[in-house]
Amino acid sequence: MTPAPHPAISSNGLCKRYGHSPALDHLDLTVEVGQIFGLLGPNGAGKSTAIKILTTLLDASSGQAWVAGFDVARQPVEVRRRIGYVPQLLSADGALTATENLDLSARLHGLSGTERKHRVAAALHFAGLEGMGQQLVRTFSGGMVRRLEIAQATLHDPEVLFLDEPTMGLDPVARRTVWAHLRQLRADKAMTILLCTHDMEEADLLCDELALLHRGRLAAVGRPQALKDRVGPTASLADVFVHFSGQAIQTAPARDWQEDQAAAWHRG
């Protein structure tokens, strides 16, 4: 992928209000091409709101944003063609096989014939699911589903990939496998990745740059080590989080999250 002359993502005074309450308050953000960029912040800080606006799923109240050089409000179709998105909750269809999920995504992205079959096979390989393409997704572990969803979201080689809590609830081995997949995407395709996370280890080890949101506003931005240096000589990224947000980090138990998702699939 040839580097673009514009930032992969940028916003200027981006706001989202619900009545008199701001969910996002004048966000100015720049993400360069090829970065893995993390959004940190407590629940309600505006992270998911920002991602939904940038992926054209939600209209901003004011301000502007551009993704892959296109205005998200005025050129939403062009933006959608150039992005992939993996939401916080598992979104793959548990009643379909892995191959059927991937084939459906390929069709939605306009891929057809031999090209579609090639992309689906390559996606199964990328996700480490060769030989499992005909298995129902409801039988997969949370980590396997996450790898499948990332493969789905990148079938069409997007310029920018958006991930909302991509490893929430996964066990340590599954988390690191997902991290390796994201690093591979950046290395092989120069893909820009923006992710929301509460996982401080994930942010520290994976992200080139971080932005910390607090009450809808940008509280701090910089490389992980630079942010730690701002707080103190021995500060951890958890200390940075608490310093700028004034709140403790909240995490979700892996087993409960996976059980809830599995139950929802079976009910569906």
Domains in the chain, start-ordered, CATH in brackets?
9-267 (3.40.50.300)
Q: pLDDT 10s digit of each residue in the chain, 268 long?
A: 444 578 999 999 999 999 888 999 999 999 999 999 999 988 888 998 999 999 999 999 999 999 999 999 999 999 999 999 998 877 899 999 999 999 999 999 899 899 999 999 999 998 899 999 999 999 999 889 989 999 999 999 999 999 998 888 788 888 888 899 899 889 988 899 999 998 899 999 999 999 999 999 999 999 999 999 999 999 999 999 999 887 655 554 444 444 445 455 444 4
Q: Where are the alpha helices (DSSP H) in the chain?
A: 47-54, 76-81, 98-108, 113-126, 142-153, 172-189, 200-206, 224-231, 237-245, 254-267
User: What pTM did the predictor assign?
Assistant: 0.86
